[in-house]
Amino acid sequence: MTTETSTTTSTTTTTEQTAASTAYQMEPAWWTNSVVYQIYPRSFADANGDGMGDLRGIINHLDHLAELGVDVVWLSPIYRSPQADNGYDISDYQDIDPLFGTMADFEELLTGLHDRGIKLMMDLVVNHTSDEHPWFVESRSSTTSPKRDWYYWRDPRDGREPNNWGSFFSGSTWQLDEATGQYYLHLFDVKQPDLNWENPEVREAVYAMMRWWLDKGVDGFRMDVINFLSKVDGLPDAPPVEGREFVNAFALYADGPRMHEFLAEMHREVFAGRPGQFITVGETPGVTTQEAVLYTDPRRAELDMVFQFEHVGLDQLPTDKFAYAAPAPGAVKASLYRWQTALGQAGWNSLYWDNHDQPRAVSRFGDDDPQWWETSAKTVATILHGMRGTPYVYQGEEIGMTNYPFATGADFQDVEVVNYLASLRARGGDEETALTGIRKISRDNARTPVQWDSGPYAGFSSVSPWLPVNPNASWLNAAAQVGESGSVFEHYKSLIALRKSLPVLALGSFEAIESDAANPAVWAYTRTLGESRVLVVANAGREPVAVDVGEDWVGARLVLGSGLDVEPVLGAGPVPLAGWESRMYLIK
Ligand code: TEU
């Protein structure tokens, strides 16, 4: 978001001009060729020897980020928090949790990033606060509290919960407060009460807090479940589901009636007229392509981009996240291609395979069998970074970190799994079956410590960390890869550099190659910007393939391959790809 470029409305008037006038075609926003790196501070690096990552640990590894070449860091929450959901439950938006360090450490981190030309995007968690936030403490104190209406308080219905909504973290979304006899709403944990965005005082308090961080010099916000702010009036029941007490009520709180109004207001109150170059990304579970265009069309001045969830939801049931089923062949590809096309004219995609809530990219979308690990880690990276949008790299992804070999239910720490297993046991459900899905999908997969070297605790800490280090750290670690030609790290570094050096990668249009449709394992697509053209061909499977890309790519230059000895110029005939091999070619 740049106050001069992406937020101003086009002044052109003729139909042809208007049709071609997405703001980034006229004047591309700075983040169109940026790559964002996400840091989940608990798991990044521990400098003070308490087994948990901290701000000093990040400061110690800033050169790793500079070497990789990323433009922006998204920092998961470091605010004061009881840590019921690892910091996504905030009790003071304007202080640093002592677990992570001090405000002075934060300022040093910000300066260290800026000195290296890297911007800092903060996590903004304002759908809910912690139940220990003074706003909620005040709100819960009595039914007549001046802050009562800052949260959703409702009388019991027939002596029970006010509606049938189910929480993301199991059970009801409602918690009874014995003292006042009313229930409060929490879409997530019982310690994460939802703020009432209908109340203008709440909105103004949040905007003031955001301005305070911008005044400090941060460069933008990643906005947690931002499309949940506007709930359907009256909070009605969701359609009941046989055999379930509480149900998924998504349609009643996601992308609700006032969502666009709130975001436009936030933009006006926080960003409009402020000099500087900012970035905003909304986390928007369940968002459709149509809504995403509305959220991110720069002419509407709401958000710069959104995280959509379609491709990370294909291996689970909407009613049960841990009921794992492998996606239909080609389904992930079809989904991402659809998003490429749908946001091709207006709006902007965030591109991601994983984050702190998702399993590891190479384990889920690649192949973490030792024989295929390295080449598939590079190939999933190429597939994503070749697309139009802003790529996100989650800590450890750049070295191909894998899912953790969790064994029993007791190995998991995430509140989501802990609550899920507790409620499963209470129902007498089958824990072993559930564990099959949990091992694959649990958020803890992403949260094991970053593997810096092959030393004790992978160089993450000097003591046993809060979640165990993956045993493969003996060979899978940053020290073994940085500067090593052909490594996963060097591959990511090349992809990030290419986005800068090739405007076609940032801004070119996207088109799938026809033959791609014939084989679900093949990804073959092109990017075009004027005379400049890029071809991405990838094999997302173990069996070799030959991909027909047509005659007009003969003579294209190889810019990056997952294999080491590939001809530098593309000849005639189908492109032969070994198992999990990928290549990127350029014309002009
Ligand atoms: O996540 C919101 C969200 O809907 C999911 O990504 C969530 O992790 C999962 O699907 C629950 O089943 C955001 C944060 O990224 C996540 O870490 C927080 O736990 C959550 O909001 C609440 O703040």
pLDDT in tens, the chain (588 residues): 654 444 333 333 333 333 334 444 458 999 999 999 999 999 999 999 999 999 999 999 999 999 999 999 999 999 999 999 999 999 999 999 999 999 999 999 999 999 999 999 999 999 999 999 999 999 999 999 999 999 999 999 999 999 999 999 999 999 999 999 999 999 999 999 999 999 999 999 999 999 999 999 999 999 999 999 999 999 999 999 998 999 999 999 999 999 999 999 999 999 999 999 999 999 999 999 999 999 999 999 999 999 999 999 999 988 899 999 999 999 999 999 999 999 999 999 999 999 999 999 999 999 999 999 999 999 999 999 999 999 999 999 999 999 999 999 999 999 999 999 999 999 999 999 999 999 999 999 999 999 999 999 999 999 999 999 999 999 999 999 999 999 999 999 999 999 999 999 999 999 999 877 889 999 999 999 999 999 999 999 999 999 999 999 999 999 999 987 899 999 999 999 999 999 999 999
The tokens describing 461, both together, are 């800490």
Question: Residue 464: what pLDDT?
Answer: 98
> Atom 8 in ligand 1: which residue has the minimum CA distance?
357
Where are the domain boundaries for CATH 3.90.400.10 in the chain? 134-185
The number of residues in the chain equals 588
Whether the Cβ atoms of residue 358 and residue 440 lie closer than 8 Å to each other: no
Give the architecture (CATH level 2) of 134-185.
Answer: Alpha-Beta Complex (3.90)
User: Yes or no: is domain 509-587 CATH 3.10.580.10?
Assistant: no
Question: Residue 27: what pLDDT?
Answer: 84
- Residue 423 half-sphere exposure toward CB, CA atoms < 13 A: 17
User: Yes or no: is domain 15-130+200-474 CATH 3.20.20.80?
Assistant: yes
CB neighbour list of residue 122: distance below 8 Å, 6 or more residues apart? 75, 213, 218, 220, 221, 222
Which atom of ligand 1 is nearest to 189's Cα?
Answer: 22
Say what the alpha-carbon torsion angle 472, 46, 56, 415 is, to the nearest 10 degrees: 100
Distance 274 CA to ligand 1 centre (A): 30
Which atom of ligand 1 is nearest to 415's Cα?
Answer: 19
Which atom of ligand 1 is nearest to 127's Cα?
Answer: 23
Question: Residue 135: what pLDDT?
Answer: 99
Is 398 among the catalytic positions?
no
Where are the domain boundaries for CATH 3.20.20.80 in the chain? 15-130+200-474
Where are the domain boundaries for CATH 2.60.40.1180 in the chain? 509-587
CA–CA gap between residue 448 and residue 450 (Å, rounded):
7
The tokens describing 294, both together, are 């509305």
Q: Tell me the H-state helices in 73-146.
A: 103-115, 134-141
Please, which residues bridge with residue 154 across strands?
Answer: 183
The tokens describing 128, both together, are 């809910």
From the candidates 46, 283, 368, 516, give the one annotated as an active-site residue.
283
3 state SS of 510: strand
Pocket of ligand 1 (CB under 6 A): 85, 88, 125, 168, 188, 224-225, 283, 285, 321, 356-357, 416, 443
Please, which residues bridge with residue 575 across strands?
Answer: 547
From the candidates 131, 224, 291, 416, give the one annotated as an active-site residue.
224
For 493, list phi and psi in degrees, rounded to 5: -60, -40
Distance 72 CA to ligand 1 centre (A): 21
Distance 532 CA to ligand 1 centre (A): 39
> Atom 17 in ligand 1: which residue has the minimum CA distance?
357
Which atom of ligand 1 is nearest to 355's Cα?
Answer: 15
